[in-house]
């Protein structure tokens, strides 16, 4: 009898095993369980420390029937419509492979010099009955969470696929707190809202603030990276990695059941991506921890990307810069040259015949002023916006031939500036505003990149303000993502670094293409001059936007009252000066701007010293304190000098920070220069009140520091 | 009393004059009358020999409200929608200018060496009350008809315009006979239907035969050039000239009132064109005559285009060619190289590792065979299709990266062919099939054109088979027309001649860009192998497709029974051999292919002599007989040699042609070699029956020649 029982048990276990596949992370903290339902629907669930974080959730895709195929050989058969294909049911598991991978690699630039890529992998091959189509799902389980993607092997039954929608679900265990921005096919420039999932629907309308190009799609649609926190204090972050040749994923919430489902960005005809097998989706990532700092420290997104495709990376350099930009953003000066032109016809409009309005920012004299300031303060580069003709008439009109990227205004002497910058050891940073006219940019791209190299520009800030052209496309569709990738890879051929604004938010591609040194692709400092950002915006961004890559946040604003710059602009920068210093540490980026005017820096020259000193590239980063929406404190050790820097930013309520210095080397003496909010500082009423003090520290020291609302502190530490 | 009467009359006349503007053609044959209705709606009518041909018809446009404009300076104003704008009412006439123009110019290549451009012009400036917008209408009245266009001056109230629809009407005087193809945003490859206007609706469905890419839009929509004939024997032809930066115009019929209205081709988002003032529409042309031959002889389309923008045109050469093409069209061989590949990934697929199917047409040996044949027979060029990788997987799947235009198959030795052609004095003609992937073609274009020049290719046949990419665009939208123009102008920079297939039908642009030596853009000879064309197709095309420019019709088929070439293809070429010879004269083009196989020509080497002899470029052309759908007979005098050639093609019923030779020089003796249908020839049952006879002729001679159904005759005349 016992034997039969045993046999039955073994049989039962094998039956279960035949349907459920389990994978644990290297340390055992996570468990992934994959199974097929009775209908052959693939599902997964994720447990963290033996508790469910993702309940059983569906996987798969829906292919479209919109694709027409015509037989072309002689008989002239009529166009046929394919039926809609499910790639989410009727599957059986036909193969599985388990591997472990453990490798440490070194990024060209980054928060740390070593990154360990250590995971257990489960590769499943599914076959669909009826269609006989094959689909693979590759799960990688790290000690900080799960990444998985779909793979579509080359096969006769599925050479081409047109995606109607991806149907990846993330079934959550409750009405978690979420830090979200509205799902949108064209912009990420929204303030974050913190609310429960159940409240998203009611708060969506007011969250959709105006933008030059925006296409929200659902009353419960949100963007990734999405930050969540359960009532039990578990932090969950959902994003994607390695977004190449695919549409950007948003998440749409079923707010009855708290299940998110992937919602891809459509192309102009409504379909959501065309693939040719062999092909794969990006990785869908779920980072989980009971410690918010671990979310920030996670390297999963980078680890899921392919190694660098650039062999010689010596031309890729972290860059600290200033530039002619904030004066136009605040409205003090203009990108344009004249008010005389109702519209511009590139190649025909004769700028020598128009009357300049005298408010053009990008003049030779002004640029040289910034070159001087950069040289005097050890900055690497100067960015100039508005240097090239066309700005009188640059967006909002679906204009294709809007810029030519090579013709300067009459008051911008390209050669003189080039030679002057060279003589001062300063690099000029190019600006390519495309106005969303992607075909125009591609037509000019080789010419524009060659022009850059010929004139000493090794880095370009590109922009996509306004609706994408071709009309009907979106900023984050597969078509447009393909354009950003084309621009990036061609830039690498020319040894050009790219900082793409208004492009799709990054997903770790800078591991593969390290010349992508930054994006904007979120609401940045410019919005402080467009009415202001929420004071706690910078305490959320590291948990969301920065999960996928660095942000050209352009901080360092010392004058918060914009009316003093432009009497017609009553915006207020919702941050203290100390907060602005700290951002150079808390908002990691190899590209950092000191965005304000030289004269404002000169007024607070002692505080400006921090910006001069702070490094851009790091051997080590230690997240000391973190809570989304409330505070972030991080310490980083500079590559080369070994010098440590600490930054803290806080939210609406201020904060009292408690940190220790255990990251310092034992037995050594250091001097810490602490730039902090004055006791009476407040981002609204008293933002410029700060203190600077020097204290001796060792690795045994601790610090308790009171931080103002919207405040922060910055510390630079030198060995004595 | 009499004085008062006189004053009243003068007053009345001036009142009429204030509202109606008249213009007559130089010889007085035509009268255009423009007037504004009570509501300020602009209208026109056209009279020919004092009889109405176009009744009072509306003019104007409707602009869209779809365009969003956002104020961007600081305050973040919300997106605003513009209301829909009428540009078709509430106008007053504020200015008018009358001029006469008379100039004779010389095309680089053409049917004649001199073209007289002689017209009376009326330029009206209209101002719209309320909006204060200005619109101009420019009328040019020639002795063969009317051309007019809209012009939108640069003005503060209208810098950018997005067109919802153009509302140009052509109100006809009755239920005329029309020779039409279905209106379609993506193909012109339909057989023509001859019917009354009232019958179009009932015949539309059967007229829409299958195609790789097609988008019919209305049960009474037709394409231009539209040929009409009234019951009184008046021929009316409606088309457009100078289609640049605008959407292609179709005509939609109100079949109760016999009024056509312009119907433009939309972009992906449904709007029909974006303009930036100053801007203009193409010319809308109405050619009228009581003599069908005058329609064919009209040069209005060319005259309305701008003079050549190419200074040195020495590299633009009429070209007679053969090539590796018909064998693939008939299905005897393949463009592709292998059957082993389910799909192709350019740059990854290794063609040296696949098994060739052995039916690849574009092999080195086969190409050299054609080079030999071309050299032996005095042909200028050899076209090769299927020379470059990617043909296993080339359309129907919205594939973007489908061809790279530079990588040959393993069995196509580029260098060997290049050197061999050069040694034989033969030019290779490049083939750029794009599969409608316009972004891909633009990305490769400079590389592809440079590659051509480096390898001895000075002319390219381009193709756009399949739906246009970006998905949602159409072959004839403004966006895509802009692409064709970009390809053409860039080709001119590289001194490359262009023969664009599946592109928008021409509208006389080859005056401005004479490197556009031909288009297909209609149902050509290939369809004879796809089931056959109507026998009278070639008697209609000169009245329709050729109004805008030459067609690469690729005639010269000697073997009509395709089953003899490919047992699986039961198509029959619906023409006699004599008809195929005549096409070189009746289907004017500076680019002419002898499309059949050398072995078929060798079987009828005496008939082939005509193709060897016929010229491509002409000093003079005399249309001797013409009736749409029935017959076309034309005599042309070769540039240089002064030799005359005559061609006749006839329709379903055959024809007895009566011509004289009064175009010959008086007092001279000539020998005419007449290639004609044998008495028992018939396109279906006995197509290869022909006779060749030589007769002496002078300018006093006449000829009566019986022509078979689907037949023709060709004559070459030499001075004795």
Question: In the prediction, which pLDDT does B85 show?
Answer: 83
Cβ contacts of B75 on chain A, cutoff 8 Å = 530-531
Q: What is the pLDDT of residues B242-258, one digit of tens each?
A: 999 999 999 999 999 99
The residue with tokens 């390809």 is B487
Which one is predicted more confidently, B269 or A37? A37
Rounded Cα gap, residues B68 and B80, in angstroms: 6
Q: What is the pLDDT of residues B90-117, one digit of tens each?
A: 999 999 999 999 999 999 999 999 999 9
Rounded Cα gap, residues B187 and B208, in angstroms: 10
Rounded Cα gap, residues B405 and B437, in angstroms: 12
Whether residue B345 is predicted with pLDDT greater than 60 in this model: the reply is: yes
Rounded Cα gap, residues A390 and A337, in angstroms: 9
- How many beta-carbon pairs under 8 angstroms link A with B? 160
Beta-carbon separation of B471 and A271 below 8 A = yes
Chain B's closest residue to A348, CA to CA, is B278
The residue with tokens 């895709």 is A61
DSSP letters along B620-672, please? EEEEEEEETTTEEEEEEEETTT--EEEEEEE-TT-EEEEEE-TTSPTT--EEE
Which one is predicted more confidently, A372 or B9? A372
Beta-carbon separation of B443 and A531 below 8 A = no
Average pLDDT (B338-351) is 90
Q: What is the pLDDT of residues A141-162, one digit of tens each?
A: 999 999 999 999 998 888 899 9
Could you write out the three-class secondary structure of A516-555?
Answer: EEEECCCCCHHHHHCCCCCCCHHHHHHHCHHHCCCECCCC
DSSP letters along B349-416, please? --GGGS-B-S-BS--HHHHHHHHHHHHHTT--EEEESS-BTTGGG-SSS--SS---SS-B-TT--HHH
Question: Which of B79, B472, B571 minimises the CB distance to A269?
Answer: B472
Chain centre to alpha carbon of residue A530? 21
Whether residue A15 is predicted with pLDDT greater than 70 in this model: the reply is: no
Rounded Cα gap, residues A509 and A506, in angstroms: 7
Question: In the prediction, which pLDDT does A192 show?
Answer: 98
Determine whether B505 is exposed, middle or buried from the number of CB atoms within 10 Å of its CB (0-12, 13-18, 19+).
Answer: buried
A269 falls in which pLDDT band (50, 70, 90)?
Answer: confident
Beta-carbon separation of B568 and A269 below 8 A = no
Rounded Cα gap, residues B291 and A597, in angstroms: 77
Average pLDDT (A640-646) is 95
Which residues lie across from A430 on neighbouring strands? A460
Whether residue A506 is predicted with pLDDT greater than 90 in this model: the reply is: yes
**Coil, strand, or helix at residue B29?**
coil
Whether residue A73 is predicted with pLDDT greater than 90 in this model: the reply is: no
Q: What is the pLDDT of residues A316-330, one digit of tens each?
A: 999 999 999 999 999
Question: Which of B74, B393, B472 minimises the CB distance to A530?
Answer: B74
Average pLDDT (B413-432) is 97
Sheet holding B51-58, edge to edge: B20-24, B30-36, B42-48, B51-58, B169-172, B259-264, B249-254, B221-222
Determine whether A694 is exposed, middle or buried from the number of CB atoms within 10 Å of its CB (0-12, 13-18, 19+).
Answer: exposed
Beta-carbon separation of B343 and A154 below 8 A = yes
DSSP letters along A316-376, please? ---EEEEEETHHHHTTSSBSSSBS--SS--TTT--GGGS-B-S-BS--HHHHHHHHHHHHH
**Coil, strand, or helix at residue B511?**
helix
Q: What is the pLDDT of residues A197-238, one digit of tens each?
A: 999 999 999 999 999 899 999 999 999 999 999 999 999 999
* A652, A664 Cβ separation under 8 angstroms: no
Q: What is the pLDDT of residues A598-615, one digit of tens each?
A: 999 999 999 999 999 999
Question: In the prediction, which pLDDT does A65 show?
Answer: 63
* B346, B394 Cβ separation under 8 angstroms: no
Question: In the prediction, which pLDDT does B395 show?
Answer: 77
Whether residue B84 is predicted with pLDDT greater than 80 in this model: the reply is: no
Q: What is the pLDDT of residues A167-206, one digit of tens each?
A: 999 999 999 999 999 999 999 999 999 999 999 999 999 9
Whether residue B13 is predicted with pLDDT greater than 60 in this model: the reply is: no
**Minimum mean pLDDT range among A505-519, B5-19, B130-144:** B5-19
A8 falls in which pLDDT band (50, 70, 90)?
Answer: low
Beta-carbon separation of A442 and B442 below 8 A = yes
| E strand map for A529-666 | 591-593, 618-627, 631-638, 644-650, 655-660
Question: In the prediction, which pLDDT does A208 show?
Answer: 96
Whether residue A720 is predicted with pLDDT greater than 80 in this model: the reply is: yes
**Minimum mean pLDDT range among A59-73, A121-135, B69-83, B191-205:** B69-83
Determine whether B104 is exposed, middle or buried from the number of CB atoms within 10 Å of its CB (0-12, 13-18, 19+).
Answer: exposed
Phi, psi of B368 (to 5 degrees): -65, -35
Write down all domains in chain A, each with its CATH number in brackets.
Answer: 19-303 (2.70.98.10), 319-616 (3.20.20.70)
Q: What is the pLDDT of residues A471-482, one digit of tens each?
A: 889 999 999 999
Cβ contacts of B274 on chain A, cutoff 8 Å = 397-400, 471
Question: In the prediction, which pLDDT does A18 show?
Answer: 52
Question: In the prediction, which pLDDT does B343 show?
Answer: 86
Chain centre to alpha carbon of residue A66? 32
Alpha-carbon dihedral B179, B112, B551, B571, rounded to 10 degrees: 70
Question: In the prediction, which pLDDT does A6 show?
Answer: 62
DSSP letters along A373-399, please? HHHHTT--EEEESS-BTTGGG-SSS--
Q: What is the pLDDT of residues B50-74, one digit of tens each?
A: 999 999 999 999 998 644 333 322 2
Which residues lie across from B702 on neighbouring strands? B660
Whether residue B477 is predicted with pLDDT greater than 50 in this model: the reply is: yes
Whether residue A76 is predicted with pLDDT greater than 70 in this model: the reply is: no
B354 falls in which pLDDT band (50, 70, 90)?
Answer: very high
* B534, B552 Cβ separation under 8 angstroms: no
Whether residue B566 is predicted with pLDDT greater than 70 in this model: the reply is: yes
A11 falls in which pLDDT band (50, 70, 90)?
Answer: low
**Would you name the residues of A annotated as active-site residues?**
526
Could you write out the three-class secondary structure of B428-469?
Answer: EEEEEECCCEHHHHHHHHHHHHHHHHHCCEEEEEEECCCCCE
Question: In the prediction, which pLDDT does A277 show?
Answer: 92
Chain A's closest residue to B572, CA to CA, is A74
* B719, B679 Cβ separation under 8 angstroms: no
Residue in B526, B620, B665, B719 annotated catalytic: B526
A interface mutation test: which of B273, B343, B402 has the most A CBs within 10 A? B343
* B335, B325 Cβ separation under 8 angstroms: no
Question: In the prediction, which pLDDT does B5 show?
Answer: 59
Kindly state the tokens that stand for B524.
Answer: 């050509």
Question: In the prediction, which pLDDT does A55 show?
Answer: 98
Q: What is the pLDDT of residues B163-211, one digit of tens each?
A: 999 999 999 999 999 999 999 999 999 999 999 999 999 999 999 999 9
Question: In the prediction, which pLDDT does A398 show?
Answer: 79
Give the distance from residue B169's alpha carbon to the nearest chain A alpha carbon, in angstroms: 28
Beta-carbon separation of A442 and B446 below 8 A = no
Rounded Cα gap, residues A402 and B116, in angstroms: 39
Beta-carbon separation of B343 and A571 below 8 A = no
Beta-carbon separation of B210 and A155 below 8 A = no
Cβ contacts of A159 on chain B, cutoff 8 Å = 342-343, 393, 397
Question: Which of A67, A154, A443 minimises the CB distance to B342?
Answer: A154
Average pLDDT (B31-39) is 97
Average pLDDT (B340-358) is 92
Rounded Cα gap, residues A356 and A162, in angstroms: 51
Average pLDDT (B406-412) is 97
Whether residue B17 is predicted with pLDDT greater than 50 in this model: the reply is: no
Cβ-proximal residues to A11 (8 Å cutoff; 6+ apart), any chain: none
B19 falls in which pLDDT band (50, 70, 90)?
Answer: low
* B50, B32 Cβ separation under 8 angstroms: no
Whether residue A92 is predicted with pLDDT greater than 70 in this model: the reply is: yes
Rounded Cα gap, residues A325 and A384, in angstroms: 7
């Amino acid at each position: 009898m016992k034997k039969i029982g045993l046999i039955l048990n073994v049989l039962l276990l094998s039956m279960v095993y035949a349907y459920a596949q389990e994978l644990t992370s290297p340390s055992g903290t996570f468990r992934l369980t994959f199974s097929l339902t009775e209908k052959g629907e693939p599902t997964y669930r994720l447990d963290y420390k033996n508790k469910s974080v993702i309940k059983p959730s569906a996987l798969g895709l829906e292919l479209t029937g919109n694709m027409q195929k015509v037989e072309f050989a002689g008989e002239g058969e009529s166009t046929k419509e394919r039926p809609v294909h499910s790639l989410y049911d009727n599957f059986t598991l036909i193969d599985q492979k388990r591997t472990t991978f453990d490798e440490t690699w070194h990024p060209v630039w980054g928060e740390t010099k070593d990154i360990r890529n250590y995971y257990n992998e489960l590769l499943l091959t599914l076959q669909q009955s009826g269609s006989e189509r094959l689909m693979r799902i590759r799960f990688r389980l790290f000690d900080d969470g799960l990444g998985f993607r779909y793979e579509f092997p080359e096969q006769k039954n599925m050479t081409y696929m047109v995606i109607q929608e991806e149907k990846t679900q993330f079934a959550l265990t409750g009405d978690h707190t979420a830090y979200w921005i509205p799902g949108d096919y064209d912009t990420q420039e929204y303030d974050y809202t913190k609310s429960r999932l159940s409240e998203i629907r009611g708060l969506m309308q007011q969250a959709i603030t105006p933008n030059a190009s925006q296409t929200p799609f659902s009353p419960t649609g949100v963007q990734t990276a999405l930050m969540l926190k359960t009532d039990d204090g578990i932090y969950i972050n959902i994003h994607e990695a390695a977004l190449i040749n695919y549409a950007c994923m948003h998440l749409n919430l079923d707010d009855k059941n708290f299940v998110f489902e992937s919602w891809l960005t459509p192309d102009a005809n409504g379909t959501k991506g065309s693939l040719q097998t062999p092909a794969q989706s990006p990785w869908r990532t779920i980072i989980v921890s009971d410690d918010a700092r671990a979310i920030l420290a996670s390297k999963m997104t980078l680890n899921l990307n392919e190694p660098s495709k650039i062999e010689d990376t010596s031309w890729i350099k972290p860059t600290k810069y200033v530039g002619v930009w904030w004066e136009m953003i605040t409205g003090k000066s203009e990108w344009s040259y004249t008010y005389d032109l109702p519209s511009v016809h590139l190649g025909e409009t004769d700028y020598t015949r128009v009357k300049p309005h005298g408010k053009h920012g990008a003049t030779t004299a002004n640029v040289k002023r910034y070159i001087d300031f950069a040289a005097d303060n050890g900055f690497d580069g100067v960015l100039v916006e508005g240097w090239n003709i066309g700005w009188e008439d640059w967006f909002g009109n679906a204009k294709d031939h809007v810029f030519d990227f090579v013709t300067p205004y009459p008051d911008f002497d390209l050669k003189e500036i080039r030679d002057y910058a060279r003589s001062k050891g300063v690099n000029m940073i190019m600006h390519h505003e495309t106005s969303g006219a992607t075909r125009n940019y591609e037509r000019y791209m080789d010419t524009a990149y060659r022009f850059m190299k010929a004139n000493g520009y090794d880095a370009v800030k590109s922009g996509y303000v306004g609706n994408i052209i071709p009309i009907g496309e979106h900023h984050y569709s597969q078509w447009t993502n393909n354009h950003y990738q084309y621009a990036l890879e061609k830039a690498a051929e020319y040894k050009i670094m790219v900082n793409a604004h208004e492009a799709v938010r990054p997903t770790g591609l800078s591991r593969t293409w390290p010349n992508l040194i930054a994006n904007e692709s979120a609401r940045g400092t410019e919005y402080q001059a467009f009415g202001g950002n929420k004071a706690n915006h910078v305490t959320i961004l590291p948990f969301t936007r920065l999960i996928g890559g660095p942000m050209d946040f352009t901080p360092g604003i010392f004058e918060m009252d914009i009316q003093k710059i432009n009497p017609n602009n009553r915006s207020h920068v919702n941050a203290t000066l100390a907060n602005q210093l700290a951002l150079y540490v808390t908002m990691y980026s190899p590209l950092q701007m000191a965005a304000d005017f030289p004269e404002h820096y000169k007024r607070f020259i002692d505080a400006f010293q921090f910006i001069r000193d702070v490094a851009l590239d790091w051997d080590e980063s230690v997240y000391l304190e973190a809570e989304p929406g409330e505070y972030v404190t991080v310490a980083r050790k500079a590559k080369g000098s070994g010098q440590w820097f600490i930054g803290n930013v806080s939210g609406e309520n201020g904060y009292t920070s408690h940190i220790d210095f255990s990251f310092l080397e034992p037995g050594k003496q250091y001097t810490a220069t602490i730039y902090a909010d004055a006791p009476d500082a407040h981002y609204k009423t008293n933002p410029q009140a700060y203190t600077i003090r020097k204290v001796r520290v060792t690795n045994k020291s601790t610090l308790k520091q009171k931080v103002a609302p919207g405040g922060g502190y910055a510390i630079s530490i030198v060995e004595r």
